[in-house]
Structure 1
Amino acid sequence: MPKVSRVSTSSVPRPEPAAPSRPSGPFGLPRFARRGTPEGAVPALALFAAVRLAGIVAVILTNTLRGRPPLRTLAHSWDSRWYLHIAAEGYGHKIWLTPHGAVQTDWAFFPLYPALIRALDTVLPLTPGQAALLVAWIAAAVAAYGVYVIGHLLYGRGVATALVGLWAVMPHAVELTIAYTESLFAALAIWSLYCVLKGRWLWAGALAALAGLARPSGFAMAGAVVLAAGYEAWHRRGRVPWRLWAGAVLAPLGFLGYVLWVGTRVGDLFGGYFTVQSAWDSRFDFGAGSARFVKALLLHGGGVVYTVALLVVAAGVLLFALLCLDGAPLVLVAFAGILVLLVVAGSGSFSSKPRFLLPAFPLLVPLARALARTWRVRPGQAVLVYGALTLVSLMFGAYVTAVARSPL
């Protein structure tokens, strides 16, 4: 008898995950055949953790060299102090009178993050600052895993890994690991996006509502869920489950609930919150404030922080155009687009605008696809590019957190 040679299964290349089939309409929700936990998440999350841990170490070393407490700027910078005060004392106990006479109050800050700080501080032997950092770091890890899962779902393992890696080295990514709300909001919003992509509308609406209790930009997540639900209902001619409508109703409740609560405290139900925000020079002015800033920066120059902020915002607009051309699902396009719109057409400190774009990870999809292609063809070149991006991110993160006096 002829011998039958055995072929080792380890030598047979494993097939790539099947790409999702798209509906006929543009920007529609893909129909996914594969279910279960995506493969390859551990290396991507390890990369994210290593980069962000290096960022924390860079901040600590910079503080030490400047003779400052090593962890102070991580837990007690700018808005962090307001969140810690709310966690300790509640609302209505902290105001700040600006040099221009505006009265800034703690009602401008949304309640979910300080509530979590207070809860951890109550049950664990931690200081409020340590509790705030723990919440931020856990949320950043949860958000990074969500970025990988969505990337894997839509584009496969290679692009998903590149997407997580690029998100870790955004210029302001250090603010994912300080006592700010960006990581918490990102975690809730990203998993709400995932639930929309998978058709889990009740979960999508509930997570969007929680995101609306974390940051004012929760409006973007609520808008994305509502727009995606409306498009899906229109595309399927109304033949959608009741959960879709329930999720769409749930999504804006967190944001609207807090806005109305502030209105009752101020004495103006529908306008009170916006009056509070105007004291912080935060309003939707259709880009007039941004245009004045860009003109002044071009005519008179500015510091590194403001120049980088302008470059990040300009890159965000360009990447949003590329994302639209890429034909990504509407919920991702809507989420990123609303955040870009709020950044460009809203007033306020321009140095803070890049961190408002941190949760908008879909903007990185075109770059992630390009980086994944480069890795397959020229891995050395991909490593060199990513190493340069990492170095810039670590240096700028340490500078903006521990050296610069510009608002974060």
Structure 2
Amino acid sequence: MAQLTPPHDDTEREAPATAWARAPIAVRIGLLYVLSRLVTTGFFFIAAEFSGPASRYGPDATVGTFAMGWDAQWYWMVAVNGYPSVLPLTEARQVAENQWAFMPVYPMLAQALGLPFGSWAVGALVISLVSGYLACLALHALLKSRIGASAAMWATLFFASGPLAALFQVAYAETLFLLWLFLALWAVERRRYAWLYLLIPLMGYTRPGILAFALFLALHGIHRWFTRRREPLPVSHILHIVFLGLLAVVVGFSWQVFAAFVTGDPGAYLATELAWRRSWIGDAESSFIPFDGFIHAAAFWFTTWGFGPVVGYVALGILVIGLAALLVFEPHVRRLGVDIRLWSASYVVYLLLVFFPQSSIFRLLVPLSPLFGAAAVPRSRWWRGGFLALCLLGQWWWIYNMYALANTYWQIP
């Protein structure tokens, strides 16, 4: 297995300059990123060998079929067929899964980039890989001023090698969304709000989640108001924060309007999203109710595991309280700064509001990747090396289950 541990970093103690230390940061991150991708590719090859008749990929699985599996097919359908003007229905006359659940920026960019190659898949994978590298650069820039260059480099390595690092090499929109997100968080940290007028629409039409950013901007504005004696709050900043928050809300709800206009069904988008939930709990609610997904899931999963719904509700409450305490009190997390913690809290609240947690929850937690910075703060080589090993172990576990086995209801990436 390729060795991913960065060379000695002279930002933490005096040491002679080395070729590694003299290399531009883009080159250093690029080398670590390539090594991380080689490791992930190796995991995919091993997973393809383990794939058997019971797997959804079958005994002839390849790295290419993994890359184009699951949601990649939906993005391809968006690029080739667009969005349906008539919602597909199940035999029970309920709205079936369809393309309206997937935003257009990623599949359309992949379509344009893939034209010279005659392959949408090539365009999609190039975007995922390049976006992943650029997201690593953006994450390092976001964290460096808070935790130092050395810890930021380690956090970037954890991100590039983390349990969900397979997303860098499949035709999913996650890495492109993360690039926009990290740039947006960097812009907020540097108070360069004007960049957000471009980044917010890009985020909103790449992947669901922009409403979490709207909540983050609201909390960011409230925090800046109460700390205005410590950090001046010009009128121009107030106007930017307000207008950008409104823009994020408008973009967040606009997709429902587009779906309603094209299909003639005011509830087209929400019905489409609820169709995925129905695969898990059968007769899902016909209308969206905030927090309903997590409440149903707590009962569903803990009953499935033999504990009963009450234990599930208690566990959900403990989880929420624990996450809140982590973001507020944990000293390494506090080192990341207020904005990263406010974003993390906003995104968790967003998930609690709208999502039904199942195996895809691991993938949906990837926007919390700036929290890798907290794991990188301790300077112990044993800690950092051990955490990197856990990242790689988690990555193999995820690839093995979601791609090599892929034969039961909880093995869906």
Shorter-chain TM band: 0.7 to 0.9
In structure 1, how many angstroms separate the alpha carbons of the residues matched to 2:72 and 2:320?
Answer: 26
Contact 1:169 1:393 in 2 (8 A): yes
Task: Say if 1:116 and 1:316 are closer, same or farther in 2 by CA, change over 3 A.
Answer: farther
Contact 2:146 2:337 in 1 (8 A): no
In structure 1, how many angstroms separate the alpha carbons of the residues matched to 2:69 and 2:112?
Answer: 21
Contact 2:50 2:405 in 1 (8 A): no
Note the C-alpha offset of 1:125: 1.4
Report the counterpart of residue 323 of structure 1 in structure 2: 327
In structure 2, how many angstroms separate the alpha carbons of the residues matched to 1:60 and 1:54?
Answer: 10
Q: Aligned pair 1:57/2:59, yes or no? A: no
In structure 1, how many angstroms separate the alpha carbons of the residues matched to 2:11 and 2:291?
Answer: 53
The total of aligned residue pairs comes to 357
Report the counterpart of residue 285 of structure 2 in structure 1: none
Q: Aligned pair 1:273/2:257, yes or no? A: no
Contact 2:291 2:352 in 1 (8 A): no
Contact 2:184 2:196 in 1 (8 A): yes
Pairing partner for 1:232 from 224, 235, 239: 224
Contact 1:185 1:218 in 2 (8 A): no
Render the CA deviation track for 1:149-184: whole Å, top value 9, x for unaligned: 111121111210121122233322212321111111
Q: Aligned pair 1:298/2:305, yes or no? A: yes
Task: Say if 1:143 and 1:400 are closer, same or farther in 2 by CA, change over 3 A.
Answer: same
In structure 2, how many angstroms separate the alpha carbons of the residues matched to 1:363 and 1:14?
Answer: 21
Contact 1:120 1:126 in 2 (8 A): no
Render the CA deviation track for 1:315-335: whole Å, top value 9, x for unaligned: 898566323224344432232
In structure 2, how many angstroms separate the alpha carbons of the residues matched to 1:90 and 1:347?
Answer: 25
Pairing partner for 1:104 from 78, 90, 97: 97
Note the C-alpha offset of 1:220: 1.6
Pairing partner for 1:215 from 207, 213, 219: 207
RMSD of Structure 2 on Structure 1 (CA) = 3.3
Pairing partner for 2:109 from 116, 126, 129: 116
For 1:7-406, list aligned pairs within 5 A: 40=25, 42-64=27-49, 66=51, 67-92=59-84, 102=94, 103-122=96-115, 124-233=116-225, 235-236=227-228, 239-241=234-236, 242-269=239-266, 271-281=267-277, 284-286=290-292, 287-299=294-306, 318=322, 321-325=325-329, 326-327=333-334, 328-348=336-356, 350-370=358-378, 373-374=379-380, 379-380=381-382, 382-405=384-407, 406=411
Task: Say if 1:99 and 1:180 are closer, same or farther in 2 by CA, change over 3 A.
Answer: farther
TM-score, normalised with respect to structure 2: 0.75
Task: Say if 1:297 and 1:159 are closer, same or farther in 2 by CA, change over 3 A.
Answer: farther
Contact 2:97 2:276 in 1 (8 A): yes
Q: Which amino acid aligns with 1:109?
A: F
Q: Which amino acid aligns with 2:275?
A: A
The share of aligned pairs that are identical, in percent, is: 22
Q: Which amino acid aligns with 2:348?
A: V
In structure 2, how many angstroms separate the alpha carbons of the residues matched to 1:150 and 1:280?
Answer: 34
Note the C-alpha offset of 1:337: 1.7
Q: Which runs of 5+ in 1 are unaligned?
A: 1-12, 17-37, 302-310
Task: Say if 1:105 and 1:391 are closer, same or farther in 2 by CA, change over 3 A.
Answer: closer
Note the C-alpha offset of 1:199: 0.7
In structure 2, how many angstroms separate the alpha carbons of the residues matched to 1:387 and 1:352?
Answer: 23
Note the C-alpha offset of 1:349: 5.3
TM-score, normalised with respect to structure 1: 0.76
Alignment partner of 1:251: what SS?
helix
Q: Which amino acid aligns with 2:274?
A: S
In structure 1, how many angstroms separate the alpha carbons of the residues matched to 2:296 and 2:74?
Answer: 25
Moved more, 47-56 or 321-330: 321-330
